[in-house]
Structure 1
Amino acid sequence: MDYRYGSHTVYQIEYHFVWVTKYRYKILKGEVSERIRELVRQTCEAFEIRIVQGVVSKDHVHILVSYPPEMAPSEIMRRIKGRTSSYLFEEFPHLKKKYWEGIFGHEGIFARQ
């Protein structure tokens, strides 16, 4: 077991998240796939979330993360999805044609502890 340590805590909290693109469009390929990987890594580093494993498929993302006990799973996904979404729309204008409402990820997620 890989325990993590805080100033007064020892913990091992891991969640497996899966989120899909809206309408299951296969847009997560090529440069978009590489960029989403970078953005997820950067976001996780910024919030002390450790990526244990991750896979970006053409229409969904799997990520197994370890995170501090003061964070809720919903907060983790809000940060990751929110940041990646805004940057992807800014950097890849062609995504706006498929997702004119400005949201490329489906609202729901799958989370398993």
Structure 2
Amino acid sequence: MRIRNLCHSCYQHQYHLVWGTKYRRKYLKEYVKVELIKNFKETIKNYPTLRFVEINTDEDHVHLQVEIPPDLTVAAVVRILKSKSSFVLKKKFKFIREMYLDSSIWSVGYFSSTIGLNEKQIRDYIEWQGKKDLQKTIEL
């Protein structure tokens, strides 16, 4: 984790963000995950100081490790990512569009945690998301 600079400030803000699919439906298969990650990366091109460290999913939730600058709130970042990805995935995948009709594909809430000394543990945890044959337990 490194210190970032803006015009009048320096910061080191990393967060672990998690949110689930609406009704915990398990539609984040590999081909949907690829489109979702592509959409996340495309979306943050409009926010040059926002940076992903890790992105992964399980079938019914998303994990992100992200650097968020001081001029953006965690809530704003989550809102932007959830709304843009909901629109794009519903447009791209008919089964998702039919599953949710006029509503968002994401649950209303989210989890956020700051990352400090335990960054490696969180990276490992995110990396192992969705892997069925996990032989070791990662302790947070």
How many residue pairs get aligned? The number is: 113
Alignment check: 8 A CA contact 1:96 1:102 kept: no
Q: CA RMSD in A?
A: 1.2
Q: How does 1:51-90 map to 2 (within 5 A)?
A: 51-90=52-91
The runs of 4+ residues in structure 1 deviating greater than 4 Å are none
C-alpha contact 1:89 1:102 (8 A) present in aligned 2: no
The residue matched to 1:37 in structure 2 has which SS?
helix
Higher relative contact order (CA 8 A, sep 6+): 1
Q: How far, CA to CA, are the matches of 1:112 and 1:67 in structure 2?
A: 12
Where structure 1 has 5 or more consecutive residues not aligned to the other structure, the ranges are none
Q: Calculate percent identity across the aligned residue pairs.
A: 31
Length-normalised TM-score, structure 2: 0.76
Q: 2:90–2:96: 8 Å Cα contact kept in structure 1?
A: yes
Shift of 1:45: 2.9
Which residue identity lines up with residue 60 of structure 2 in the other structure?
A: D
Gap regions ≥5 residues in structure 2: 115-140
In the TM superposition, what whole-angstrom CA distance separates every residue of 1:55-92 from its partner, at most 9, and x where no partner exists?
12111000011021011110000110010000111111
Q: How many angstroms apart in 2 are the aligned matches of 1:23 and 1:16?
A: 22
Alignment partner of 2:19: what SS? Answer: strand
For residues 11-47 of structure 1, the C-alpha deviation after alignment (integer angstroms, 9 at most, x for no partner) is 1111110010011111011321100010111222321
Larger Rg over CA atoms: 2
